[in-house]
Chain A
Amino acid sequence: MPDGPTASERFLNGILPENPVYRQLLGMCPVLAVTAAMLPALTMAAATAFVLISANVIISLIRGQLRPHLRILVFTLTIATFVTIADRFLAAYLYEMSKVLGPYVPLIIVNCLIISRCEICASKQTVRVAVADAVGMSLGFTLALVSIATVREVLGSGTWLGLRVLPEAWPNWGIMVLPPGAFLVLGLLLAGVEWWGQWRAERAALAVASVSRSLQGQSGGAAREEEASSWKA
């Protein structure tokens, strides 16, 4: 297949198997900086999704005319323009939130996630595939932001999206909403995802091994002996 994964595969890929934060470690700066509470995290995710999808569409539309040595220039120009638009919209319609996010909205320009999607996918694929890829990646990024913000807001303030979920008696873990909390939560969640991946890989390996063993069991005892000794080694 010359085109690589199809649109729907790319869409699903972005959400979990190639999650931009947990798998590719891209765009760490907003992941750490704006996740002290759910609301700024969601706003940040929406702004990033807007920029990512718009930039992917534009780059995919002009991909036939792109000169290789000018492509990074075009990517940067496109991303910076859409980030400016997103920033102005936030300042006009969600003024309080734009004050909370502060410089992290313009910092979307240097979010490696967007430029890497332009380079890897949008500049080579049709608009349909590029949009599917961008939406999938945005959802994956949102998922990551939301998961971290959930842990930090619930433990740090006893609320979720501003609603109280833990009893008033809960002693707020101040550290969670402070910078160190961001590092600790992300580190532990990354380790959790990694552990889950390893556990699944091990189980899959065991399943393959048992299937092959049972197949070999039918063909003869000698092969089984050999298999067992190789497992011991």
Chain B
Amino acid sequence: MTNSRKIRGYLQQAWLVLLLAGAYGGALAGVQMTLAPRIAENRRRETYQTIPQLVPGADRERTVELWISDREGNPARVYRTHDAEGRHNGWVLPASGPGFADDIGLLIGLDASLKKLTGMYVLDQRETPGLGDYIRDADFRRQFQGHAADTPIEAVKSDPQEQQIVVLSGATVSSSSVCRIINTAIARMRGPLLQSQAAASAAGGDAREQEL
């Protein structure tokens, strides 16, 4: 008796809050249902439209997103790229790490045999405008093409040799951050990717057919 009165009292106090919570929940569910596919598509497109720049000859429509365990067993996202005829021609690794001011997010392009770097693209950065943000420029990014993927890349002030790039003047930290992020990401993923490739070819079949 007192209990039911208590509950009635609570309801009298809180019916408005409960009603609003229900209405807002419904509104948010509606928003989520209508917009979520579009947001996911935006995220996907952001990566996919840079893929032809990262791996020469890659067809963005034929790129496959894969989840592979990295060196320490954590899941990591990689993209397996194919050319217009469907031949596997490279890999794209997303990577991020601390830059000069904030985290830098990169995409790294590798050839199919994981021997060579084919490109680099900056997705997210908040480096110093006018100095560090030149890491986005094509001239700087082009330096990374063609280096071997099995030895780390180094940033030097001048006269680049094998496996070296020239830092942007006034942005040494930003430039070497990019190198560091690339080196870490490749060290993390190269072994597992080679293993998965070896396993696929040992199985005899071409996994590509099922993926597509």
Which A residues form the contact surface with B (CB < 8 A)? Answer: 62, 65-67, 70, 73-74, 77-78, 81, 84-85, 88-89, 91-93, 95, 99, 156-157, 172, 174, 177-178
Contact = CB atoms under 8 A, between A and B. Distances in A.
Among A65, A77, A81, A177, find the residue whose CB has the most chain B CB atoms closer than 10 A. Answer: A81
Contacts of B16: 62, 65-67, 70, 74
A85 B26 CA distance: 12
Contacts of B43: 95
Interface stretch (B62-70, B127-135, B136-144): B127-135
Contacts of B38: 92-93
B198 interface: no
Nearest to B14: A70
Contact of B35 (A66, A73, A91): A91
A88 B39 contact: yes
Given A66-B16, A156-B129, A172-B130, A91 B21 contact: no
Given A156-B129, A174-B130, A74 B39 contact: no
Please name the 8 residue pairs, one residue from A and one from B, whose CB atoms are nearest each other, closest first.
A95-B42, A81-B24, A92-B35, A92-B38, A91-B39, A174-B130, A88-B35, A177-B129
22 contacts: A66-B16, A67-B16, A74-B17, A77-B17, A77-B21, A81-B24, A81-B27, A81-B28, A85-B27, A85-B28, A88-B35, A88-B39, A91-B35, A91-B39, A92-B35, A92-B39, A95-B39, A99-B124, A172-B129, A174-B128, A174-B129, A178-B129
B32 interface: yes
Nearest to A91: B39
Contacts of A93: 38
Given A84-B31, A88-B31, A172-B130, A77 B24 contact: yes
Interface string B42-53: 110010000000
Given A67-B13, A74-B20, A92-B35, A178 B128 contact: yes
A28 B168 CA distance: 35
Among A70, A74, A77, A85, find the residue whose CB has the most chain B CB atoms closer than 10 A. Answer: A85
Chain B contact surface mostly = helix
Contacts of A74: 16-17, 20
A174 B131 contact: yes
Chain A contact surface mostly = helix
A93 B24 CA distance: 22
Contacts of A81: 24, 27-28
B193 to A, nearest CB: 28
Contact of A77 (B20, B35, B39, B131): B20
Given A172-B129, A174-B128, 4 more contacts: A91-B42, A156-B129, A157-B129, A172-B130
A70 B124 contact: no
A33 B163 CA distance: 39
Nearest to B32: A88
Nearest to B123: A99
A174 B132 CA distance: 11
B167 to A, nearest CB: 18
B42 A73 contact: no
Interface in B73-130: 124, 128-130
A84 B32 CA distance: 10
Nearest to A66: B16
B125 to A, nearest CB: 11
Interface in B165-211: none
Among A85, A92, A93, A177, find the residue whose CB has the most chain B CB atoms closer than 10 A. Answer: A92
